[in-house]
Structure 1
Amino acid sequence: MAGKRTSPMLPSQAPVTLLMGMSASELRRPQCPSECVAQDHVESRPTVIDTAANGDKIARHGPVRVASRHHVRGCHPRGGVAAGRHLAASGLDVLLIEATDRIGGRAHTAFHDGLHFHLGCGWLHSADRNGWAVVAPEFGFHIDRTTSPWITGIDASGHALRLTSARGEIEAARVIVTVPTDVLASGAIRLPPRAADHIDAAGALPLGLADKIIFKLSDCDGFEPGTQVLGNPFVKRTASYHLRPFGWPLIEGFVGGEAAREFEADGDAFAAFARDELAGLFGSGIRRRLEPIAQSRWARQPFARGSYSHALPAHAEARVVLAGDVDGRLFFAGEACSMQDFSTAHGALQTGLAIAQNILKARR
């Protein structure tokens, strides 16, 4: 990218920088050089995308790996990717910074024995107005995973915004922040004093906790595809179960709140609990047909700290505050910024697109 470099590892200037608190990867689409995206939540790994002399967007670090089509689709991030795609397609140089070593953040597709399943959001809700329904078929990304540092601060005291990390500084005319609200509220990223209202708003929009566990079925006999059951409708401490999602030989368990936090503290507790509930529903013989193959622990992910946002009582307006800009150059997007579609992937998508469109309008 053009501009003075303050670090040998990071480009120092970009017209627009997007800071995303979810997964890390460098992506490019050889078939469509103008579109360059990185993925939006547990290690210190931001993503940097650079521009070649011919205008093609390239991954600068290390070997390039190809992700499977299902992997890319299931792990699309939300607000950051939406803004990044739209801005890059307009011809701007766009720098996207990602936090972790996995695509998708709170949208997490895992794989086992030829199967794939979702540990985070797993549905395209409201398909008639969900932008991901259009994006999902667009595959072909190449992924480069590199160890990089997390952004620790944004300084707005100068002409350009300055982002600080352990490996150097980045300057940008504008920055879009799409990290989860609990990360913002924690102070993990030092924001300018004029963003104090945004930090307070993030605190009023904490993340709840919903975790999943995936069992592989050795025998699908007796389980109708796409069936939903509740473990025990008479108690609060229970889980729900999706039997054979998409016809696969899987059972997806879903638990939230206090029970989820309890299970996260004990690695095997969720699996044992779910087996007991399923045995109570279908008989003890089901135990030998269940193999636990994956489990989420979103509260223990330091760049997520939870699942999806909810407004504290009498604080719904905090979403409007969080979605506001700071001096027309520091912006916030993500599901928590959506008044109508909060807690969803398409809500995050819509907020990212809205910010990107506003930035482009302001440049005209």
Structure 2
Amino acid sequence: MSTALCDVVVVGAGAAGLAAGRALIEAGLDIRIVEARTRAGGRAFTDSVVGQPFDAGAAYIHFADRNPWVALAAEFGVTLEKHRGWGGGVAFRDGRRLDAGATAARRAGMAQFWDAMETAREEQPASGASLGDLTAGLSEGARDAALRFGQHAIGEEPERIDLADLIAQWEGPDLVAPGGYGHLVAAAARDLPVSYGVQVTRIDWSGKTVLVETTQGALRARHVVVTVPVGVLRAGGIAFAPALPAATRDALSGMTMGVLSKVALAFDGARFGWPAPSDAYALGTGFNFELFPFGRDLVIATLGGDVARDLMGQGDEAAIAATLDVFASIVGGEARQRFVAGRTAAWMRDPFAEGGYSVVRPGHGGARAALREPVGGRVRFAGEATAEGGSMTVGGATLEGRRAAAEIVEALA
């Protein structure tokens, strides 16, 4: 690394970092992008098990009517498909399919939950109430729906999710990338000056320029865009000198990282009598299963919240075994005989993520906006955590990278 002055150092080559880098280069600026991992994409990552690809992180192109990845996919020649929708799966409890009465009760609870969410959107409550508070006085079915939504959509328990922040999230149609959302995001790194395997350890913003210290030397720039996840910042993965302002520290303390996790199970072609694709919900276990997506010989389990913290904390082998046990309770013991291999996506154990994505704690509804504020006029944070309505998504992170780049271009004009 050279300490020769450049215009901008971008820390991180996830969606936000790549978007910022691309916009800055298009503006004619001299930039460097450093990435701790040996690959681009961050938490948008297409992994594989026995040659079968699956999105270990982000999988859905949310709010497709405004998501920049729709246009980027067309630019990169990547085909997208409409997501088949939510809620059409088969629910089980204790390995038994719910009967008609239990299914009707479950659907009624879900409808009550979504009605309560819509009412909250109309009333726009102040930050302070949690997702759990929303259904505290409602039916058991509504409370269960809130629990499942918190765990499987956010990766956190409902009582730890700020309701005002949640209902501010953009809505819209969902698309999927059959070839992998992670592969699509990684394509955006082509021709960008990314240095891989370079971990930033300290950012000194005390002078007129910023010194970025890394495991491979130091860089000096007029501006810095920090796109690492909130979990890394909260864990002290990067030191700042002087310390970050109180408002920025308060913003970080107002957010945590959800632990939405996945376990991919590969089989030898068996379908166990199920159509491909399909969905199964193992109520009471914390597992949702997506069976044979895109016709592949895979079953993708998702889990989040404290269930994921406990299971993923036990290690890969235990997590795969537990997932296979629950799946076998649904489809039968043949699943064990036809099982080939498994793979986990435990972002909470990734030191460059420290979790799935940012979650605002109840009462800290202004945290995302506060984190967007420049530090010393030279250090900016950008990513899904600062995206407000687009938070917790790749699309939102991308828009935030562009936002940070535009601010710097204006500052240097």
Q: Same-fold call, TM > 0.5?
A: yes
Cα distance in 2 between the residues matched to 1:293 and 1:276: 13
Kept after mapping to 1: 8 A contact 2:17/2:401? yes
Letter matched to residue 216 of structure 1: A
Q: Distance in 1 between matches of 2:392 and 2:214?
A: 29
| TM-score, length-scaled by structure 2 | 0.68
| 1:87 CA displacement | 0.9
Match of 1:154 in 2: 203
Asked if the contact 1:181/1:203 (under 8 Å) is kept, the reply is no
Match of 2:374 among 318, 321, 325: 325
Kindly tell me: are residues 127 and 319 of structure 1, through their superposed partners in 2, closer, same or farther at Cα, counting changes over 3 Å? Answer: same
- Per-residue Cα deviation, 1:7-56 (whole angstroms, up to 9, x for no partner): xx345321011112xxxxxxxxxxxxxxxxxx32xxxxxxxxxxxxxxxx
State which drifts further: 312-321 or 244-253.
244-253
Q: Any gaps of 5 or more consecutive residues in structure 1?
A: 1-8, 21-38, 41-77
Q: 1:312 aligns with which of 351, 361, 382?
A: 361
* Secondary structure in 2 matching 1:362: helix
**What are the within-5 Å matches in structure 2 for residues 14-163 of structure 1?**
14-20=6-12, 39-40=13-14, 78-137=15-74, 138=76, 139=187, 141=190, 148-163=197-212
1:337 aligns with 2:386: yes
Amino acid at match of 1:312: R
Q: 1:211·1:254 contact (CA, 8 Å) conserved in 2?
A: yes
Quote the offset at 1:194 in angstroms. Answer: 4.6
Work out the CA distance in 2 between the residues paired with 1:149 and 1:168.
9
Q: Share of identical aligned residues, percent?
A: 32
Normalization by structure 1: what TM-score? 0.76
Please give the alpha-carbon distance, in whole angstroms, between the structure 2 residues aligned to 1:179 and 1:147.
14
Q: Which secondary structure state, in structure 2, belongs to the residue aligned with residue 121 of structure 1?
A: coil
Flag structure 2 segments of 5+ consecutive residues without an equivalent: 77-186
Partner of 2:274: 223
**Contact 2:9–2:224 (CA<8 Å) still a contact in 1?**
yes
- Give the equivalent residue in structure 1 for 2:248: 198
- Evaluate the alpha carbon distance shift between residue 143 and residue 333 of structure 1 in structure 2; reply closer, same or farther with a 3 A threshold: closer
Distance 1:90 1:110, change over 3 A: same
Alignment partner, residue 351 of structure 2: 302
Larger helix proportion, structure 1 or 2? 2
AA of the residue aligned to 1:205 = M
Aligned to 2:313: 265
Equivalent runs, 1:347-358 vs 2, <5 Å: 347-358=396-407
Which fold has the larger relative contact order, with Cα–Cα distance below 8 Å and residues 6 or more apart in sequence? Answer: 2
The total of aligned residue pairs comes to 298
User: Would the alpha carbon gap of residues 99 and 351 (structure 1) be closer, same or farther in structure 2, given more than 3 Å must change?
Assistant: same
Cα deviation, residue 220, structure 1: 4.0
Amino acid at match of 2:276: P
Q: CA deviation at 1:114?
A: 3.7
d(CA) in 1 for partners of 2:212, 2:192: 24
Offset of residue 112 of structure 1: 3.7
CA distance in 2: counterparts of 1:360 and 1:147, whole angstroms: 25
Question: CA 1:144 to 1:13, structure 2 compared with 1: closer, same or farther past 3 Å?
Answer: closer
| Residue number among 250, 253, 260 corresponding to 1:210 in the alignment | 260
8 Å CA contact 1:125–1:346 kept in 2: the answer is yes
1:238 Cα offset (Å)? 2.1
C-alpha distance in structure 2 between counterparts of 1:275 and 1:130, whole Å: 35
Shift in CA distance, 161/264, structure 1 to aligned 2, threshold 3 Å = same
Partner of 2:232, secondary structure, is: helix
**Alpha-carbon contact 2:49-2:341 (below 8 Å) kept:** no
Q: Structure 1 residues 135, 15: closer, same or farther in 2, change over 3 A?
A: same
Matched residue SS, 1:212:
strand
- Describe the shift of the 1:250–1:97 C-alpha distance in structure 2 as closer, same or farther (beyond 3 A): same
Does 1:251 find its partner at 2:299? yes
* CA distance 1:329–1:143, shift in 2 (3 Å): closer
Name the Cα RMSD after superposition. Answer: 2.2
User: Secondary structure at 2:234's aligned position in 1?
Assistant: helix
SS of aligned partner of 1:127 = coil
Structure 1 residue 311: Cα displacement: 0.5
Q: Residues of 2 paired with 1:178 and 1:205: CA distance?
A: 15
Specify the code of the residue in structure 2 equivalent to 1:293: G
Paired residues of 1:213 and 1:292 also in contact (CA < 8 A): no
Distance 1:291 1:148 in 2: 32
Aligned to 2:310, the other structure's residue is in SS state helix
The 2-side partners of 1:294 and 1:302 are apart by 18
Separation (CA, whole Å) in 1 of partners of 2:373 and 2:194: 32
Q: Look up the SS of the partner of 1:128 in the other structure.
A: coil
- Cα deviations by residue, 1:153-212 (Å, 9 ceiling, x for unpaired): 111221111111243221100000011112112222122335342232112111010111
State the shift of 1:322 in Å: 0.5
On the 8 A contact 2:32/2:193 being kept in 1, the answer is no
